[in-house]
Amino acid sequence: MSGKLPGGRRQPTIHEVAATAGVSIGTVSRVASESPRVAPETRARVLAAMAELGYQPNAAARAMRTNQTMTIGFLIPDMTNQVFARVAQGAETVLAPEGYMLFAFSSNRSPAREIEFLQAARQRQMDGLIVTLSDETATGTIEEIARMGVPVVVLDREIPVEADVVYSEHMQPIETVVEQLLQLGHRRIGLITASHNIRPGRDRVAGFKRALEKAGVPIDDWLIRARTQSAERGMAETHDLLTGPNPPTAILAAGSDIFYGALKAVRLLGLSIPDDISFVGADDALLGELVYPPITVIDRDMVEVGRQAAGLLLERLKGLDVPPRRIMLGSDVLLRSSIAAPKIR
C-alpha cells in the first residue's frame, strides 16, 4: 500500500493533532472552525500542531456532518471552447471570495456524460450547479436536474425545470446584421448555427427569418443550416453553401467553432472577404480582429454571464426562496470591414 509517489503518506487526522497539541478533538475542531471559545494559548498550541503535521480537515467527514461541501459544479459542453471557459472564469470571480470552489466538468456535448456529471454532483453533495446543456430535448438530463435538491442555474437554455436562468440575446443581433446585409443589397444570405435543440440555435434562426420577412425577402430553407456546433460542421456547411447551384453572397457563422470552420472553408475556396463574399462571425471578437480584413462579429460578454449566474446561485445558497428568476444579457454587433455590397454578376 505504501510507496505511492510522493510518499503515500496517510493524512493526519484531528485525533493526531489533538494528541500532539495535548488537547481533545473537540478543541481542535473549535480551532479549525474559528470558534471564539478557545483560550489564546490553547489555540496557539493547536495551530502549531496543525502546521507541524500539515493537517487539512477531511472534507468527506466534514461534509457528512454539515451537509456542505463548499463545492460548485460547472457543467460545460466543451472545455476547449473559450466561450464557456470565460463563463467559468466569471463565475469563479464571484464564488471564490465566498469560499466556494468551482470545479469544471466537460461533457463533450454528450447528454449521457451530462447525466453522469449530474449524478456525480449529487453523490458528491455539491452545494450548487451551473449547467449548460447540449440538448434541451434530452429528458434524462432534465429529470436529473429536477432531482438535484440543490440550487441549479441554467445557462441559455429553455427547459421545464424550476431554476434560475441566464439568457443571452440572440435574436436581435442576428436581425441587425441581416438588415445591414439586406441594405447593402444582399438577397441570399447563408446562416450556419447550432441546432434547434438549443435556444441559441432556435433564436438565431428566428431572428434571421424575421429580418427577411420584414424586408419581404423570400426564405430559402436551403440557406439555413442549423445543426451541430463544431468547426468541422461549420466548414462542411460553408463549403456546401458556397459551391452550391445558387450560392449566398453573405455568410453568417453564428457560433465560435462554426466561425472557425466557416472561415477556413472560405480560405480554402480562395474567396476574398468581402469582395467575393461578405462574412459575419460570432463569439470570438479577438479572431475577428486579428485576421485581415477584420471580421464583423456578434459578440457577448461571457465573463459577465458567469458573474450573473454565480450571483443568482449565491443568493440561493444563502437561502433566498423566491420563484425562478431569469436574466437576459445583451449582445453586441462589432461592425468591421468584412461586409460589403455583393458583387454584381
Partner DNA sequence: GGGTGCCGTGTTGACGTTTACACGATCCTG
Partner DNA sequence: CAGGATCGTGTAAACGTCAACACGGCACCC
Name the binder of 270 from its own copies, DNA, none, CB < 5-8 A by kind: none
Among 44, 48, 64, 268, binds DNA (CB under 7 A): 64
Within a 10 A sphere around the Cβ of 71, how many other Cβ atoms? 19
Nearer to its own copies, 95 or 226 (CB): 95
In whole angstroms, what is the distance from residue 23 CA to residue 345 CA? Answer: 90
Tell me which of 53, 62, 197, 325 binds DNA, using CB under 7 A.
Answer: 62
Instruction: Indicate if the alpha-carbon torsion angle 236, 237, 239, 244 is positive or negative.
Output: positive
44 binds DNA (CB under 7 A): no
End-to-end CA distance of the chain: 76
Distances in whole angstroms, Cα of residue 228 to Cα of each of 176, 236, 242, 264? 24, 11, 19, 17
Among 20, 23, 78, 151, binds DNA (CB under 7 A): 23
| 57 belongs to the binding site for DNA (CB under 7 A) | yes
Give the whole-angstrom CA distance, residue 131 versus residue 153.
6
In this chain, which of 9, 20, 42, 113 binds DNA, going by CB under 7 A? 42
Q: What's the CA gap between 130 and 163, in Å, rounded?
A: 10
* Residue 65 touches DNA, criterion: CB under 7 A: yes
Residue position matching grid coordinates 434562426: 205
A 10 A CB-CB count for 340 gives: 19
For its own copies, the closer of residues 207 and 255 by Cβ is 255
- Selected from 1, 5, 39, 344, the binder of DNA by CB under 7 A is 39
Residue 82 interacts with which of its own copies, DNA, none, CB < 5 to 8 Å by class: its own copies
Told to check if 285 binds DNA by CB under 7 A, we report: no
Q: Which does 267 bind (CB under 5 to 8 A by kind): DNA, its own copies, none?
A: its own copies
Contacting DNA (CB under 7 A), which of 41, 162, 221, 321?
A: 41
Mapped onto helix, strand or coil, the DSSP state of residue 135 is: coil
Contact (CB, 8 A) for 141 and 111: yes
Backbone angles phi, psi at 277, to 5 degrees: -150, 135
Provide the grid cell at 3.
510507496
Q: Which stretch binds DNA (CB under 7 A): 63-71, 86-94, 210-218, 301-309?
A: 63-71
Residue 305 binding result from its own copies, DNA, none, given CB thresholds of 5 to 8 Å by partner type: none
Query: Which of DNA, its own copies, none does residue 147 bind to, with CB < 5 to 8 Å depending on kind?
Result: its own copies
Q: E strand or H helix at 296, and its extent?
A: strand 296-299
**Residues contacting residue 243 through CB under 8 Å, at least 6 positions apart:** 269
Q: Which is nearer to DNA, 14 or 273 (CB)?
A: 14
81 backbone dihedrals φ, ψ, rounded to 5°:
-90, 120
Least gap, CB of 217 to its own copies (angstroms): 30
32 is a site residue for DNA (CB under 7 A): yes
Binding flag, residue 66, DNA (CB under 7 A): yes
Instruction: Tell me the closest approach of the beta carbon of residue 73 to DNA, in angstroms.
Output: 19
Pick 97 or 216: Cβ nearer its own copies: 97
Helices (H), 186-345: 199-214, 231-242, 256-268, 285-290, 302-317
Count other Cβ atoms within 10 Å, centred on residue 177. Answer: 27
Pairing status of strand 101-106 against strand 332-334: unpaired
Q: Which does 184 bind (CB under 5 to 8 A by kind): DNA, its own copies, none?
A: none
Q: Which residues bind DNA (CB under 7 A)?
A: 13-15, 22-27, 29-30, 32-33, 36-39, 41-43, 55, 57-58, 61-62, 64-66
